[in-house]
Each structure stands twice: as C-alpha cells, then as structure tokens.
C-alpha cells in the first residue's frame, strides 16, 4: 500500500541520508555517461551553438528542434553570420517553431555581440544578461555547458526531479517554492562537472522522471528518492493550475491575385505579430468574426470588401485559445493594400516566415 502523502511542504522524516549528495551526484553522472542521447548540440562546446539550442528548446520539443537547429547552423554557422543576415531571413528559418520573439532576440543579441564583444561570447553572467532574450536560465545553461562554470540551472524538468527526490510539495510557479527547490538542488549540485550535471538532470526529467508515469524502476536515483519511497512520486510537485481553454472564432480573408496571395504582419488581438498571416479577426461567433474582419479591412484600406462563401474551415490551438476558423475569399478589393501588407508568390510560401496557422490555411485552401 502506498504511504499517505505528507501534507507539509516537506516531510523531513523522508529526507535522504545526509551522506547522500556525493552518491546521488556520482550515480546521476554515471547514468548520464551511459544513457545520454546523441543530440546535435551535445557534439559541440561552441557557446554560440549551445545558445541557439537553448533558445530553440524553450517551450519546444527536442524532436521538433533538431531539424531547425541543424538548418539554422548550416545557414548561420557563426554569430557574425547571424548578425549580418536580414531579420526576415532569420524568421523564415524559424517559421514553424513558434514564439518568434525568440528569433528576434537571437538576431538582436547576435548584432550586439558583434558590435560590442567582437563576436565573442562573454564568459560572465552579468555581461550575458545584458543581451536581449538571455534570462537567468539561458545565461546559466550556456556558462555551465560551454564554459564549465559552476551554475546550476533550474528548468521545469530539473525542478520536477528535485521536488520528487526531496518530496517537496508546492507550486513551481510560486517564487518561494522555486527557491526551496533551488536550495535542495544546490545540495546535490556538482560544481566540478556543472555542464554534465545540469544536462544529466534535464535528461533524467525528459526520459525517466516523466511528468506522468515516472519510470522509477529505471532511475539511477531511486535509492535516495523520497517521492518514490512514499509511493506516489507524481504527488510532487503540485500540478500546475491550468487556465481553462477558451473557444474563439476566427474569420480569415483570402486575397488572391493570380499566383500570389496578400498577407499581413500579425493575426489579431496582438497575436503572432512577428510573422505573416492571412488578414483575420476573432469574434464570439463566426458572424461576429466576419464582421470584425470586414471592419478591420475597411480601417486598413478605407475601401469596402465583399466576401464569398467560406472555402475552408479549420481548427487551431494557440496557448489557451481553441480556435475554429473559416477562410473567406475576397471577391473584390481595391488594388494593392498598403502598410504592413505584402504579396507572396504561392510557390514561395513554404519558405516564408508565415505562422503555423497560415500554413494550415495554405494547406487546406491551396494544397
Ligand atoms: S525514483 Fe522515480 S520519482 Fe524519483 S527521481 Fe527517479 S524517476 Fe523521479
């Protein structure tokens, strides 16, 4: 029978023995040596390549990142290649990865590195933090992996493993609880092998200590793990409070001229501002979305648009929004819209910096 889960933030009766930090460290590093997956960013110590990987891996699965990472480094093998490139080209290579602000920051930071650091990666935390998009986590990951500096990183995977190892109950989104997890992490952290230690804990969280159904029987830390010993490791940490999914309707306009379509920057309501999209508007019903789209186009062009019957319907998710969309062909429109619009050749769309939602529409409507 599993033991009752302690109600206190931490049950001291279940602490690992005081002598265990060294043993935990050793077991983890030995496991990593024999179980580490061969990932392309593990074949290099180039801080630039490690930085690109860390940025791409934020909120994105490893399997998705690998082809993007390879292509990105083929096109921009150095910081200076990235700095010299136009932003549009960077966004094209990012297209499909999502969270485009990451690409914009990467590009800005590469320009700063070239202008102010002679293209070399600063080897200290304070300088790294001055670069756009480099927060506490990314700075510590790059410094520990590329420069072997003794910084422990605390991402979601690491935090879950540590919370289970020490049976810490709490919400990882609360700073106080993260600090508690950070304190326990510091107890087992290897200052001498910081990069490997950080990657090993991340690897353990990604492949063994899974959010659901941790594979404790295959875990090198089982012997010391309080979460395992109490019989319900999934009780640590507390589950993240989820924002309820909201239903939204979207009307998208298909402005087509021969082999070209017109796209705009941004979707609606401040979403997907960094990439090209079909002109679109949200609404609480399909009719309201279409009406808002009509008003939006009128505001942008001072002309009236007429729409045909929808040519496609689709569903798409953006964070907590569950979107049901319809694509309306524009039957007449007053010449070339101005401002942030641009005509794209249909054949070029797959390589363009368009959103996943736009890609879905292209697939549904144009094939
Ligand atoms: S024993 Fe289980 S719960 Fe504990 S760290 Fe290993 S996989 Fe996670």
Ligand 1 binding pocket, CB closer than 6 Å = 161, 164-165, 208-209, 214, 216, 219, 221-222, 225, 227-228, 233
Q: How far is the CA of 227 from the centre of ligand 1 (A)?
A: 7
Q: How far is the CA of 77 from the centre of ligand 1 (A)?
A: 38
Pocket test for ligand 1, best of 157, 219, 231 (most atoms within 8 A of CB): 219
Range of the domain at 273: 246-366
- What's the pLDDT score for residue 335? 62
Q: Is the predicted pLDDT of residue 4 greater than 80, yes or no? A: no
- 3-class secondary-structure state, position 270: coil
pTM beyond cutoff 0.75: yes
Q: Is the predicted pLDDT of residue 272 greater than 70, yes or no? A: yes
CA–CA separation, 232 and 175 (whole Å)? 24
Which residue has its alpha carbon closest to ligand 1 atom 1? 222
* Contact between residue 253 and residue 279 where contact means Cβ atoms under 8 Å apart: yes
40 plus 138 within the same structural domain: yes
CA nearest 238: which of 180, 316, 304? 180
Hey, which of 4-8, 200-204, 300-304 has the most confident mean pLDDT? 200-204
288 plus 343 within the same structural domain: yes
* Contact between residue 246 and residue 322 where contact means Cβ atoms under 8 Å apart: yes
Q: What is the CATH number of the domain that holds 281?
A: 3.90.79.10
194 plus 289 within the same structural domain: no
Atom nearest to 161 CA in ligand 1: 5
**Burial bucket for residue 19 (CB in 10 Å: 0-12, 13-18, 19+):** exposed
Torsion of CA 19, 22, 27, 32, to 10 degrees: 150
Q: What is the CATH number of the domain that holds 73?
A: 1.10.340.30
DSSP structural state of residue 121: P
Q: Is residue 55 part of a domain?
A: yes
CA–CA separation, 119 and 111 (whole Å)? 8
Pocket test for ligand 1, best of 181, 227, 229, 237 (most atoms within 8 A of CB): 227
Q: Is residue 196 part of a domain?
A: yes
Active site residue 54: yes
198 plus 347 within the same structural domain: no
Name the active-site residue from 54, 92, 184, 203. Answer: 54
Q: In this predicted model, what pLDDT tens digit does every residue of 126-137 receive, in sequence order?
A: 999 999 999 999
What is the mean pLDDT of the segment spanning 273-295? Answer: 93
Q: Which residue has the tokens 């979707």?
A: 267
205 plus 252 within the same structural domain: no
């Amino acid at each position: 029978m599993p033991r009752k889960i302690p109600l206190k933030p931490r049950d001291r009766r279940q602490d690992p023995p005081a002598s265990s930090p060294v043993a935990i460290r050793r077991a983890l590093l030995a496991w990593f040596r024999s179980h580490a997956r061969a990932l392309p960013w593990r074949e290099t110590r180039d801080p630039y390549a490690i930085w690109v990987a860390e940025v791409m891996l934020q909120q994105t699965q490893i399997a998705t990142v690998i082809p993007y990472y390879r292509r990105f480094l083929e096109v921009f093998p150095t910081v200076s290649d990235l700095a010299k490139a136009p932003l549009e080209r960077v966004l094209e290579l990012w297209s499909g990865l999502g969270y485009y602000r990451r690409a914009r920051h990467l590009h800005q930071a590469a320009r700063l590195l070239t202008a102010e650091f002679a293209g070399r990666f600063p080897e200290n935390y304070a300088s790294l933090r001055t670069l756009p998009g480099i927060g506490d986590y990314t700075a510590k990951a790059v410094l520990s992996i590329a420069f072997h500096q003794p910084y422990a990183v605390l991402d979601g995977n690491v935090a879950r493993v540590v919370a289970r190892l020490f049976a810490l109950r709490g919400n990882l989104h609360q700073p106080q609880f993260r600090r508690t997890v950070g304190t326990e992490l510091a107890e087992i952290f290897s200052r001498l092998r910081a990069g490997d230690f950080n990657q090993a804990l991340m690897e353990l969280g990604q492949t063994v200590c899974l959010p659901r159904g941790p594979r404790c029987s295959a875990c090198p830390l089982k012997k010391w793990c309080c979460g395992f010993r109490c019989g319900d490791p999934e009780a640590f940490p507390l589950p993240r409070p989820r924002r309820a999914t909201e239903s939204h309707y979207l009307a998208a306009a298909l402005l087509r001229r021969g082999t070209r379509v017109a796209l705009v920057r941004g979707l609606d309501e401040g979403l997907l501002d960094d990439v090209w999209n079909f002109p679109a508007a949200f609404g609480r019903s399909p009719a309201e979305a279409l009406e808002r789209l009509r008003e939006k186009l009128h505001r942008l062009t001072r002309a009236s648009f007429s729409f045909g019957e929808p040519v496609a319907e689709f569903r798409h998710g953006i964070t907590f929004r569950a979107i049901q969309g319809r694509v309306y062909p524009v039957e007449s429109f007053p010449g070339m819209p101005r401002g942030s619009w641009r005509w794209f050749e249909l054949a070029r769309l797959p390589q363009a910096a368009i959103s996943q939602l736009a890609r879905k529409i292209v697939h549904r409507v144009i094939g």
